[in-house]
Amino acid sequence: MSLTAKVEEHGGEAAPETPGGRIYDEVAGIVSALLGEAGVQANVSFFDLGMDSLLLVKFKKRIRESFNINLKISDFFNYHTAELLAGKIMDHLKEAN
């Protein structure tokens, strides 16, 4: 799927970077899979859930594969919840178009 399609896909649904939105759901799903946590909450830090440096590298790789973007490691510290990171990804996708 192209970046444009990912950004425009949500028409009428929850904004992609908010709970229930496509980008948020993808980020939360990746975190759930890595940490073995069901139902990652929008405002809970990845690090409070148990994310460590090794898992963070895997997380970064999966985000790159899912969204075709290459975020910096520091982005994961600055945007440390599923909702914040989904917003960052959404901004990045908009800039790419």
pLDDT per position as a tens digit, 43-82 = 999 999 999 999 999 999 999 999 999 999 999 999 999 9
- Provide the percentage of residues in the chain whose pLDDT is more than 90: 63
Q: At what angle do helices 53-67 and 82-96 cross, to 10 degrees?
A: 40
CATH of residue 30:
1.10.1200.10
Token pair of 83 as six digits? 């909702």
Question: Residue 39 carries which DSSP code?
Answer: S
Place 6 in a pLDDT band, splitting at 50, 70 and 90.
Answer: very low
Question: Residue 97 carries which DSSP code?
Answer: -
Instruction: Count the domains in the chain.
Output: 1
Residue by residue, DSSP assigns 49-81 as TT--HHHHHHHHHHHHHHHS----HHHHHHS-S
Token pair of 25 as six digits? 């759901």
The whole-model pTM stands at 0.80
| Range of the structural domain that residue 81 is part of | 3-96
